[in-house]
Structure 1
Amino acid sequence: MDIRKQAEEIVHAIGGKENISAATHCVTRLRLALNDESKVDQEALESIESVKGSFSTNGQFQIVIGQGTVNKVYKEFVDITGVGESSKDEVKKAAEQNLNPIQRAVKTLADIFIPILPAIVTAGLLMGINNLLTGAGIFYNDASIIDKHPQWADIAGIINLIANTAFVFLPGLIGWSAAKRFGGSELLGIVLGLMLVHPDLLNAWGYAEAQKEGDVDTWNFLGLEIEKVGYQGQVLPVLVAAFVLAKVERFLTKRVSDGFHLLVVPPITLLLTGFITFVAIGPITFAIGNFLTDGFVSIFDAVPAIGGLIYGGLYAPLVITGMHHTFLAVDLQLISAIGGTFLWPMVALSNIAQGSAAFAMMLATKDEKLKGLALTSSISAWLGITEPAMFGVNLRYRYPFFAAMIGSAIAGVIITIAGVMAPSIGVGGIPAFFSILNEFWPIFFVGMAIVLIVPFGLTFLIAKFKMRKEAQ
């Protein structure tokens, strides 16, 4: 492969070097901030030998090339265009100019939750391992592993403690990430988040019962009665509080000299934000969060089939827009409020559906380049990473994408009617069953069978029909 020629063809297909604002790359993709994405010749771009797919997300235009090759192409790309090597943050900043207000809000949530996602997913996987050890009826009739082998009980307890840590101290994780995103001190963000789950506060999970019994302690703050309640597992309180903290800190930093910064800015920032949080932000956002959670639960309780059909079928289009990141907050809020999420299991099935459609294209096509891309991307999707399959294969031909949506919608209806729950966000794709409560495994396996068979069958039949028609 002539790498220089490949880079030149890519530059020409995306509208020339004058259309490029900034450029960087990750392990497999060129990540570009373009001045005008409408100038991209999609057909010409995807006909280039080294290009395995392309898509636009969060204001960035990304070109899938592949591990190893992308480094060489990027080096030639920079030399041809003269744009200079940029960091990922610089490209993100340049790309934000192409976003509308809604997209910017969604991107803000993504920037906050994606950095803490590894901790949440790890917790979900460890909870799945704990379920294997403590769940009755998996390996023994009406008994668990620790029932039959008590020596494993303490090991299960340690695993459970490690798994729950990310959720118990979730406000600390969000506080760190949100403060960083909003331009504040990450350390103060961590302290703010941990402050909201301090042991001296009533645990949020016991608040409803304590309120019924009239056993909620209060502070008297200038005549105001403030309940001493923590915000374990809550999302909105720490998000808003971190935003206020960053604004207060930046306001003070501009007005306090460097010599007094350490003595003045952090203490006043944390004290002021803490008072505002416990007096106003916490109670208000806690009520809003519970209202939204109750709304979601009520809808899925009243019409589970419609809820499963819509969310199961439309999750993949949400990924295209980037709006799927907003549902991370909803999942976490549901886990805090009702002990699990009924949304995430549908996400896992949507991953599998996209992989099945891409795998069908691998078997149906005679294009060797597409075969290779479809095989690797389908495996990736079955393991929870859908972007290569969606953008590299399924969206390019459209009907595989819609076949995957149909399969995902059908499976979504079935598992939602059955009330399938996950105690945490876990590993996506086929390994997802580890993060599903074990009593729901049988019906979840039915859903997995549907998203493996339906998208594959529909895609394969349509592909063969189209090939036969083209041959005639």
Structure 2
Amino acid sequence: MNRESVERIVEAVGGKENISAATHCVTRLRLVLKDEDKVNQRMLDEHELVKGSFSTNGQFQVVIGQGTVDKVYKEMVTLTGIGELSKEEVKNEAAKNLNPLQRAIKTLADIFIPILPAIVTAGLLMGINNVLTGAGIFYDDKSIVDVHTQWKDFASMINLIANTAFAFLPALIGWSAVTRFGGSPLFGIVLGLMLVHPDLLNAWSYGEALKKGSIDTWNLFGLHVEKVGYQGQVLPVLAASFVLAKIELFLRKRIPDGFQLLIVAPVALLVTGFLAFIVIGPITFAIGNVITGAVVWLFKTAPFIGGLVYGGLYAPLVITGMHHTFLAVDLQLIGSVGSTFLWPMVALSNIAQGSAAFAIMILSKNDEKLKGLSLTSGISAWLGITEPAMFGVNLRFRFAFISAVIGSAIAGVVISVAGVKAASVGIGGIPAPLSIVPQSWPAFIIGMIIVIVVPFLLTLTLGKLQKKSTVTSTVAATESFQHNPKN
């Protein structure tokens, strides 16, 4: 890497006067541009250091690669004089370019992405537990722990470790959400734990207790409030976190520093706690049940349509950033009904993007850079990270992206009709079967075969037809010129 290489990247994104703010992550430059129409995409694509680029949530991101991106960023700071900024500062700058819907989606992404590693880890561990305890996988009507009883306690401990993230999910969301809304992270953790306190009725047992009429209540001066917890719920803690952060910020601006420790936290948590159990919790719990019921109804009544739409639309949703909203739906489904039928389609969509990228690798015989990018990004997609394959390769060749979407939609129909479910959210790629309910493995494996084969063959076919069409058009134009030189 040299200074000239970085100068060409700056020039390709519209020059230093077009860069409002910049930072970087492990592999990408994250730029806020004044006018993205000024980007010279062809110049970027041909740059030896650039492995791809895409725009999302108001940021233009240039994929450079681990290690090299840090050197490029430091040289860019020197060249442009923009000054080094934190990721949060760049996010805030980027938010100025977003409409209200995009800001709402970005907020959800900012809340759920930080807790995703804990959720995915829990999903993988639950997958291991499923393999050990699932009946009929390796033995007829028996599980591994039934046959080899010495593994029983080992599986039990894995299950406890795996379930912790889901059992205390409101605490994770509370920490991330209150932080995002500008409050103290510690208050968010306390709020989340408060909503799943052992003295409260377990949310998963609420329906049965309601039928029996055995729900304990608080009597607040004649107002009866049910003692119900919100284990596995998303909306109650999101709404309560927003209220908590706003109350805290309101008090901090008005309470003298010497009294803040005695007043801010107690008042903020007390008010939010009462509101959470009296108003916020019951209302958002009902809304969550309506959303869950609607999604479940659709996939039970018309699984063909549900699988076709969600399986096909997930990749386009990634382009807009709206896919982050469905993580909340997945977690709500897992918390309410114990499994999700949406996430398996996410996993297959990721594999489909990788398969299409591998086909582009075959097609790009004479382009070593594209060949290498297609290989590495395809592997990345098969391991659950699709952005390099999607933005760096497939969207550049629309037929590859469309092929991946078609394969994903077909597989979505197959696994939806078969009723495939995931017990948790895991790694959305080849390791995905670990998170799938063992009884659904055969149908899910068929879905995996579809998204490996269909996008690959379709991309190869369309790519060769496109090349043939280009050659035919060139020959026809040459012959036309020879017969009509005045043209």
Moved more, 9-18 or 408-417: 9-18
1:115-126 equivalent positions in 2, closer than 5 A = 115-126=114-125
1:442 match:
442
Aligned-partner Cα distance in 2 for 1:136–1:241: 40
Q: How far apart, CA to CA, are the structure 1 residues paired with 2:157 and 2:83?
A: 50
- What per-residue deviation string (whole Å, max 9, x for no partner) do you get for residues 299-330 of structure 1? 11111000000000010011011000000110
Structure 1 CA distance for aligned equivalents of residues 441 and 239 of structure 2: 37
Residue deviations 1:339-361 (CA, integer Å, cap 9, x gap): 10000000000000000000000
Q: Distance between the aligned counterparts of 1:379 and 1:431, measured in 2?
A: 12
8 Å CA contact 1:127, 1:163 repeated in 2: yes
Residue range with higher mean Cα deviation, 153-162 or 81-90: 81-90
* Secondary structure of residue in 2 paired with 1:371: helix
1:71 CA drift (Å): 2.2
| In structure 2, C-alpha distance between the alignment counterparts of 1:328 and 1:356, rounded to whole Å | 24
CA distance in 1, matches of 2:273, 2:142: 47
Look up the equivalent residue of 1:408 and give its one-letter code. S
Counterpart in 2 of 1:347?
346
Check if 1:170 corresponds to 2:189: no
Aligned residues of 1:245 and 1:273 also touching (Cα < 8 A): yes
Correspondence 1:345-424 to 2 at 5 A: 345-366=344-365, 367-424=367-424
Amino acid at match of 1:393: V
- Between the aligned partners of 2:313 and 2:66, the Cα distance in structure 1 is 30
State the aligned residue count: 471
Aligned residue type for 2:438: N
Is it true that 1:454 corresponds to 2:451 in the alignment? no
Classify the secondary structure of the residue corresponding to 1:174: helix
Counterpart Cα distance in 2 of 1:426 and 1:39: 39
Partner of 2:212: 213
Which runs of 5 or more structure 2 residues have no equivalent in the other structure?
473-487
What are the residue-to-residue correspondences of 1:283-294 with 2, within 5 Å? 283-294=282-293
1:178-209 deviation digits (Å, cap 9, x = unpaired): 11000111111111110011111111111111
Equivalences for 1:24-423 in 2 at 5 Å?
24-366=23-365, 367-423=367-423
Give the fraction of aligned pairs with identical amino acids, expressed as a percent.
Answer: 72
Tell me, what secondary structure is at the counterpart of 1:430? coil
Deviation readout 1:123-177 (Å, 9 max, x if unpaired): 1101110011111121122211111111111111111111111111111111111
Using structure 2 for the length normalisation, give the TM-score: 0.95
Q: How far, CA to CA, are the matches of 2:281 and 2:273 in structure 1?
A: 10
> What value does the CA root-mean-square deviation take over the aligned residues?
1.0
Q: CA deviation at 1:10?
A: 1.4
Residue type at the aligned position of 2:102: Q
Q: Distance in 2 between the 1:139 and 1:459 partners?
A: 37
Give the deviation of 1:39 after TM superposition: 1.6
- The CA distance in 1 between the partners of 2:243 and 2:252, in whole Å, is 14
Tell me the TM-score normalized by structure 1: 0.98
Rounded Cα–Cα distance in structure 1 between residues aligned with 2:336 and 2:25: 37
Task: Say which SS state the counterpart of residue 84 (structure 2) adopts.
Answer: coil
Whole-angstrom CA distance in 1 between matches of 2:442 and 2:214? 42
Amino acid at match of 2:246: K
Q: Secondary structure at the match of 2:21?
A: strand
Structure 1: how far apart are the matches of 2:170 and 2:26? Answer: 31
Q: Deviations over 1:32-72 (max 9, x none)?
A: 01111122122222222222211001110001122232222
Residue aligned with 2:96, SS? helix
d(CA) in 2 for partners of 1:113, 1:469? 45
Alpha-carbon distance in structure 1 between the residues aligned to 2:187 and 2:66: 38
Match of 1:200, SS state, is coil
Shift of residue 440 of structure 1? 0.6
| 1:189 match: secondary structure | helix
Q: Secondary structure at the match of 2:182?
A: coil
**Displacement of 1:467 after TM fit?**
2.5
How far does the alpha carbon of each residue in 1:195-233 deviate from its partner, in whole angstroms, 9 at most, with x for none?
011111111111111111110011111321101111110
